[in-house]
């Protein structure tokens, strides 16, 4: 996959100025936070191309992603969003390693999903050793890893998660933590339990690690990350599955998500949901193509493609919604037929055909 990237156009798309050397090499973590937040509030999560069955599987080449999501005013699903971020961060000097993950959010324990999600392990920019002049300020800590993900559609954080420690982290959306897991573990929360006082090794010390979020006092898994770089072949194979396999969630459902201020806006099939910072939720059932198109362009800021023939195929139009049941009426009594006269009855019996036994 090509790394050629127009970083100026990307920064203009998300509304950030080009960073100074001080921002890149001294305040790299702040810059990473700013980029992730601006990306999440500008470029939506959406699987329109998969729903519309356009040019599948979607291209993950940097120039194609830039044409679609930067110049074209579109969003993308997790692989597209996180690879776009990957190319942008690399252009700014960050070290970036894509990794594949299994989603566990709202999935039963012990039922492993395909490696159908992509995340980034990021290290901060470092002043080149070969530079003619030394950097005048204090450099960012070299090699400190952070988990970055702008493609999980609403339940993760728009801020980076420190990956060097299993300590609980307070992020804008709540409490998060990363736990190490032995390879093959499929249960919730891995083998280590802070509640039982057991040791919590560094998240990157084993073959896989899990991102958890605290929800109403309970730690819940978001996804498990395989702790190894994802090569282009593995990414392409997972992208093909996500875009074309009938069991893939992006093939069988319609998803749109965007952070608007501090609110989270989502469309899942025919439900438009937005969650406010206080936790309250508003929900609307979208039943018309016109309403869906308006939401996509206004609430989510998507520049729709010219061909949208299948865009409403996951909606339930009013004509197909179950009709209201009328109040129950007592069943009508069947009318009794008058009995035939004895002579007529005998005549009818004579006319009946005989059947072989």
Distance CA 39, CA 89 (A): 12
Residue 339 has pLDDT above 70, yes or no: no
Residue 292 has pLDDT above 90, yes or no: yes
Average pLDDT of every residue of the chain: 83
Residue 354 has pLDDT above 90, yes or no: no
Which pLDDT does position 296 carry in this prediction? 96
Residue 327 has pLDDT above 70, yes or no: no
Distance CA 88, CA 122 (A): 12
Distance CA 27, CA 268 (A): 37
Residue-wise pLDDT tens digits, 9-56: 999 999 999 999 888 988 999 999 999 999 999 999 999 999 999 989
Residue-wise pLDDT tens digits, 124-134: 998 776 665 66
Which residue has better confidence, 318 or 203? 203
Which pLDDT does position 319 carry in this prediction? 44
Residue-wise pLDDT tens digits, 297-309: 999 999 999 889 8
Largest CA distance in the chain: 123
Residue 80: burial class (beta carbons within 10 Å; 0-12, 13-18, 19+): buried
Which pLDDT does position 323 carry in this prediction? 43
Which pLDDT does position 217 carry in this prediction? 87
Distance CA 153, CA 223 (A): 13
82-91, 124-133, 326-335: least confidently modelled range: 326-335
Mean pLDDT value across residues 150-176: 89
Residue-wise pLDDT tens digits, 229-274: 999 999 999 999 999 999 999 999 999 999 998 889 999 999 999 9
CA dihedral 104→157→42→61, nearest 10 degrees, is -50
Which residue has better confidence, 346 or 201? 201
């Amino acid at each position: 996959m090509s790394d050629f990237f127009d970083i100026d156009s990307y920064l203009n798309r998300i509304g950030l100025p080009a960073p100074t050397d001080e921002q890149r090499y001294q305040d790299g973590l702040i810059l990473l936070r700013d980029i992730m937040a601006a990306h999440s509030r500008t470029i939506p999560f959406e699987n329109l191309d998969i729903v519309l069955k356009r040019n599948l599987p979607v291209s993950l080449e940097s120039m194609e992603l830039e044409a679609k999501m930067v110049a074209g005013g579109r969003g993308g699903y997790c692989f597209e969003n996180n690879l776009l971020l990957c190319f942008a961060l690399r252009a700014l000097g960050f070290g970036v390693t894509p990794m594949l993950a299994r989603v566990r959010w709202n999935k039963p324990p012990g039922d492993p999903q395909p490696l159908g999600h992509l995340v980034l392990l990021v290290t901060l920019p470092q002043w080149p050793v070969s530079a003619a002049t030394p950097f005048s300020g204090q450099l960012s800590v070299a090699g400190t890893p952070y988990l970055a993900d702008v493609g999980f559609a609403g339940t993760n954080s728009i801020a980076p998660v420190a990956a060097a420690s299993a300590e609980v982290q307070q992020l804008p959306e709540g409490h998060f933590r990363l736990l190490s897991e032995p390879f093959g573990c499929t249960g919730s929360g891995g083998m280590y339990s802070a509640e039982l006082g057991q040791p919590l090794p560094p998240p990157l010390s084993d073959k896989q690690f899990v991102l958890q979020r605290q929800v109403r006092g309970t730690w819940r898994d978001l996804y498990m990350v395989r702790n190894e770089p994802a090569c282009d072949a593995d990414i392409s194979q997972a992208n093909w599955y996500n875009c074309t396999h009938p069991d893939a969630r992006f093939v069988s459902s319609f998803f749109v998500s965007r952070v608007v201020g501090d609110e989270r806006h989502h469309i899942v099939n025919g439900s438009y949901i937005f969650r406010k910072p206080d936790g309250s939720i508003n929900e609307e059932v979208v039943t018309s193509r016109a309403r869906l198109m308006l939401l996509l362009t206004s609430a989510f800021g998507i520049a729709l493609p010219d061909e949208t023939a299948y865009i409403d195929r996951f909606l339930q139009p009013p004509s197909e919604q179950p009709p209201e049941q009328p109040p129950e009426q007592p069943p009508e009594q069947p009318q009794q037929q008058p009995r035939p006269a004895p002579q007529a009855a005998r005549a009818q019996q004579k006319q009946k055909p005989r059947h072989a036994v």
